[in-house]
Amino acid sequence: MKQNLLSLFFTALVLTAVFSLSSCGGDDDGPAPDPCLNTTLVVTTTSDAFDITATATGGESPYEFSIDGSTFQTSGTFEDVAPKEYTVTVKDANACTNTTKVTVADACADLAVTAAVEEYTVEATATGGTAPYEYSLDGTTFQTTTTFADVVAADYTLTVKDANACTATIAVTASDLESLLDERDGQRYKIVTIGEQVWMAENLDIASDTARYCYNEVTANCDEYGSMYSWYAAKVAAPDGWHLPSKAEYDALIAELGPAVEEAAPKLIVGGSSGFEGKLGGRRKEDNTYAGIDVVAIYWTADEYSTTHASDFSLQETTCGTSLGGSDKNRGLYIRCIKD
């Protein structure tokens, strides 16, 4: 009996030892170690013109990247993204993750275009954005050159497009195209094409010119009718690219609209069909008095008749014409320039 009890005791002791050894050193090693615990996974980013580029170091490749935290891709490049702040996530082969923030700036924000417009020509200038630039007047056909020449008078939208396909616009009006910009004082004059000639459709008025005369010495009359000048001042008054018309050029104007002077005159005055818009602003006489406002307008020509007189062109409601030796050079008459 005692021997049987001892046998049972030793059997139980052996089984307990075996069970203990199995628990400590068998197949069950407990929870697996966290592969991310001692891993330094780093993501770096750059952004440029709607693109994000992410790179990763540390952890275990291959890597995947996301800018919304849910959709991952193997490439670290994200193209054509909207300008805003993003949280970029990298995930490695062990599903370890790390994040960083990056802001994509609006590359279109500072793109702008300006237009210098005159004489049926548009000159575009772009600033900001990313060069090279392209330009268009119809929003469809683009060109790399900045000049649009021989533009038909109409309203346009000038568009600039940069290397990132950003665009900016500005309005160009028909009235701007039918104009001359005098760069000496920044004044803009309407212009008109009559036959093969291009004329100013307003009288010259250089406010800073001390050689000018205003009817009855009233500045408001210069604003309304333009300035009057002596023939000597008129000879050098035209802006670049324009000149004081010759007698022959005025005669050609009459022939184009007439040929009779009675036919041409109504077309040349304000409201006439030619667009010349001649205002009857009178004249300044040699004795410094003024006469003829609302009755006649007299314009200088470039033709010298004598040492004291020069040819002129006179305009009234029902008649007009050139006079070979019509005016003393010291008179004050108007200037209507013609394009070279």
If asked whether residues 238 and 315 sit together in one domain, one would say yes
If asked whether residues 190 and 171 sit together in one domain, one would say no
Beta carbons within 10 angstroms of residue 291's beta carbon: 12
pLDDT for position 17:
40
Is it the case that residue 128 has pLDDT exceeding 80?
Answer: yes
Least Cα distance to 158 among 223, 146, 230, 315 occurs for 146
If asked whether residues 159 and 227 sit together in one domain, one would say no
Q: Domain limits at 317?
A: 180-339
Q: Is 20 inside a domain boundary?
A: no
What is the domain-level CATH number for residue 83? 2.60.40.1080
Q: What is the mean pLDDT of residues 25-42?
A: 70
If asked whether residues 231 and 248 sit together in one domain, one would say yes
If asked whether residues 331 and 191 sit together in one domain, one would say yes
pLDDT digits (tens, 9 = 90+) for 248-304: 999 999 999 999 999 999 999 999 999 999 999 999 999 999 999 999 999 999 999
Element (H, E) at 315: strand 309-315
If asked whether residues 63 and 205 sit together in one domain, one would say no
What pTM, to 2 d.p., does this model score?
0.58
State how far the Cα of 306 lies from the Cα of 20, in Å rounded to an integer. 136
Element (H, E) at 90: strand 85-91
Boundary-marking domain end, from 122, 151, 177: 177
Angle at 129 between CA 76 and CA 105, to 5 degrees: 45
- The structural domain count of the chain equals 3
